[in-house]
Structure 1
Amino acid sequence: MTRCISEPKSRYRLIRAAFGLATAMAGFLSDAAYADEDGVSYWLPGRFSSLAAVPAVPGWSMAEVYYHTTVSAFGNAAAAREVRVGRIPANVDVDLSLRLNAQADLVLLNPTYTFATPVLGGQLAIGMTGLFGRSAAALDGTLTTAVGPFATTRTGTLSDSVTSIGDLYPQVTLKWNAGVHNFMTYLTGDIPVGAYSANRLANLGIGHGAIDGGGGYTYFNEKLGHEFSAVAGFTYNFKNPDTQYQSGIDFHIDWGASQFLSKQLFVGAVGYYYQQITDDFGQPPILGGFRSRVVGVGPQIGYLFPVGDMQGYLNLKGYGEFAAENRPAGWNTWLTFSLSPMAPTSTAAPTRRIATK
């Protein structure tokens, strides 16, 4: 007598195949959008979201993201950009009624390799993110520029745009699973090789290195389809050699919650909180400590589907921002497509033969 036991396809295996890569897109930014020095931070809120800490299927994976943002700012956040571009001396007043408008359209590529051999009892993955796209910015109001020891003013608009490549962002993650509980730690940073000029209003790099690390947690109940994730971390920024400006230390937390309507489809919400916790160094006195803050929240939807012998994943999420301080704010959307190894869908017990008389 031969007996074979098959295990049905589980929601958890499908999720692991797609999310381990899609949530690893930490490490990129658009100079048009976010702040420490003149309104730009290394960390782009929203990089992590649902199922961030869930281990992936071992092997090579690739994620592609289309990212769009539209933001604006008044006061210090706009004046800081004018100070850098105009090379304005510290004793010259700037117009705090300036308005900054910025947009960015970026395409990001993130190859990642997940190791099968455990490291410290967890799952190790390494990846590198690169980007290509367009960043544009415009200042409206009374513009001040410095020529030697003299400063001149005019009322009008100053605009700029750049289409090129951005910085590179390596990342290492280590993840552990314990039933419905999942834990992770990560380390990432900025290699400043992208398009950047201290004299340009819009850039695709930040002009300096940075290192960022933290940890996260995911609760995922596959039977009920409930999920909640949160990832928090800190950023240390190195000095910008072109401007002698050093941004302060930043704290950030990204979160996501979802409900699976089927094994392939889920809906939910996403959000983030970003707060600079130490002052900048080298900023004009008019800006003070120039600590930045922003909060964002919005909806998300995701879908899993097979692509040959690979696992495909699509996710669309969007954020509306509020409570901003010393940084531009507005809205942003992320469209993610990823391919990763397909998880096993069944297991078979060894064949057992029983002889009877």
Structure 2
Amino acid sequence: MQIHSRHRLIAAALAAISCATPALATERGQLRALLGLPGQDLTSPALPGFYTQANYQHYYAGEFKDNDGNTPVLSRDAGALGVLSAQQNSQVRADVLALRGSWISEYQLWDGRVGFSATLPLIKTALTTNLVRTSPVPPAIAPIVDGVIAGLSQANSGTESGIGDMEFAPFVDWQTDTYRVIFAPAFVAPTGDYDKDRAVNPGAGKFWTFRPVVTLAYVTENGWEFGARTTYSFNGKNSDTEYKSGQYLHSDGAVLYQIRDGVRIGATGYLIYQTTKDSGTGAPENGNKARVFAIGPSAGWQSESGSLGLEFKVMQEFGARNRPEGTIGWLRMIYRVN
């Protein structure tokens, strides 16, 4: 191969690789959602007072899924080299301590009690991106191309920890012996640590999210309990990147059975379904819509007075699109202060 031809091939390969970025739904794949957090608190009666929660989450995903549910393959036209492609074999790990304070007042609106809650997540997250070339290139330039791919993998990997984005939620809570309904016009503020030049951030970006929340629960006389918390998120545009993540539906559900006073076992799960496309700078033509489902076992205990509750659950994700697919676990403690 002549030297100048080799240089042209290298230049074409480098240009193609430099335009490639790993595939993630929403901006950098970050959803402002504590997936799978609600559980027995959906159906447990709550008296007026102040409640605190300490919720620990561990999440690990060993694979990412593209728009068709397959392992992502990044492809770019490299001119004389043809199409240059690399498979994305990546992992993500997150440890979250979500601290929540809730106050239920004696004041009533439309026969429901008025309250307020705030949730602050403390996040440590790690992303390891592994791009593996799947297309042939001339042996003379293969080491150079693979070296650039390795550099791109490293540039899209990292570990960060810090404060996440805080949710504020005024609400109205209607309760009877058999059902519970809560409505909350919630907001998520960009309080999280964020830098647009980092591959990983505790915060999702410099934008606000408005999310109406509806919680529905029903308790039967023979010990069965059914509950769901559903939100719909409207995201603003990230002022640092001019990227706007699409709207998405997020619902957490639980089916529990009280085997004895204060002890519940059952199943919990969640779904994410992005309904509108991402837009703005860098948004792909397919819209990058996220989707995932999860289900798994749950066990919980609540004191007779209702002042203390403990819960543990593990859920396996499936059906993911444009996001990681993994396993999530929660360990929760709820305490009524007064």
TM-score bracket for this pair, using the shorter chain length: 0.7 to 0.9
Q: Distance in 2 between matches of 1:181 and 1:135?
A: 38
Structure 1's unaligned 5+ residue stretches are: 1-33, 83-92, 144-150, 343-357
CA-CA distance at 1:35 after TM superposition: 4.0
What residue is the counterpart of 1:73 in the other structure? 64
Q: Distance in 2 between matches of 1:217 and 1:94?
A: 50
2:130 is paired with a residue whose SS is strand
Residues 128-207 of structure 1 aligned to structure 2 (within 5 Å): 128-141=118-131, 154-156=148-150, 157-158=153-154, 159-207=157-205
What residue is the counterpart of 1:44 in the other structure? 34
What residue is the counterpart of 1:218 in the other structure? 217
Aligned residues: 288
What residue is the counterpart of 1:318 in the other structure? 314
Tell me if structure 1 keeps the 8 A contact 2:219–2:226.
yes
Cα gap change, 1:97/1:317 in structure 2, threshold over 3 Å: closer, same or farther? same
Q: In proportion to residue count, which structure has more helix?
A: 2
CA-CA distance at 1:116 after TM superposition: 1.4
What residue is the counterpart of 1:337 in the other structure? 333
Q: What code does the residue aligned with 2:214 have?
A: G
CA-CA distance at 1:135 after TM superposition: 0.9
Residues 57-136 of structure 1 aligned to structure 2 (within 5 Å): 57-71=47-61, 72-75=63-66, 95=85, 97-136=87-126
2:279 is paired with a residue whose SS is coil
2:199 is paired with a residue whose SS is coil
1:155 is paired with a residue whose SS is helix
Q: Distance in 2 between matches of 1:165 and 1:46?
A: 20
Q: What code does the residue aligned with 2:100 have?
A: N
Cα gap change, 1:183/1:303 in structure 2, threshold over 3 Å: closer, same or farther? same
Cα gap change, 1:123/1:54 in structure 2, threshold over 3 Å: closer, same or farther? farther
CA-CA distance at 1:232 after TM superposition: 2.0
What residue is the counterpart of 1:275 in the other structure? 273
Q: What code does the residue aligned with 1:228 have?
A: F
CA-CA distance at 1:175 after TM superposition: 1.6
TM-score between both structures, scaled by the size of structure 1: 0.73
Tell me if structure 1 keeps the 8 A contact 2:43–2:226.
no
Tell me if structure 2 keeps the 8 A contact 1:50–1:228.
no
CA-CA distance at 1:186 after TM superposition: 1.8
Cα gap change, 1:270/1:54 in structure 2, threshold over 3 Å: closer, same or farther? same
What root-mean-square deviation, in Å, do the aligned CA atoms of Structure 1 and Structure 2 show? 2.8
1:41 is paired with a residue whose SS is coil
TM-score between both structures, scaled by the size of structure 2: 0.77
Cα gap change, 1:305/1:246 in structure 2, threshold over 3 Å: closer, same or farther? same
Q: In proportion to residue count, which structure has more strand?
A: 2
Q: Which runs of 4+ in 1 moved over 6 A?
A: 76-80
Give deviations 1:100-157, integer Å, cap 9, x for gaps. Answer: 21111111211111101222210222121112231111111159xxxxxxx9972324
Tell me if structure 1 keeps the 8 A contact 2:241–2:281.
no
Q: Distance in 2 between matches of 1:133 and 1:239?
A: 23
What residue is the counterpart of 2:78 in the other structure? none
CA-CA distance at 1:289 after TM superposition: 1.0
Cα gap change, 1:234/1:153 in structure 2, threshold over 3 Å: closer, same or farther? farther
What residue is the counterpart of 1:24 in the other structure? none
Q: Distance in 1 between matches of 2:86 and 2:210?
A: 32
Tell me if structure 2 keeps the 8 A contact 1:233–1:253.
yes
Greater relative contact order, per chain length (Cα 8 Å cut-off, separation 6+)? 1
Mean Cα displacement is larger for which, 179-188 or 256-265? Answer: 179-188
Structure 2's unaligned 5+ residue stretches are: 1-23, 75-82, 134-144
Cα gap change, 1:333/1:261 in structure 2, threshold over 3 Å: closer, same or farther? same
CA-CA distance at 1:75 after TM superposition: 4.3
Q: Distance in 2 between matches of 1:340 and 1:63?
A: 9
Q: Distance in 1 between matches of 2:64 and 2:97?
A: 24
Residues 250-329 of structure 1 aligned to structure 2 (within 5 Å): 250-282=248-280, 284=282, 286=284, 288-305=286-303, 311-329=307-325
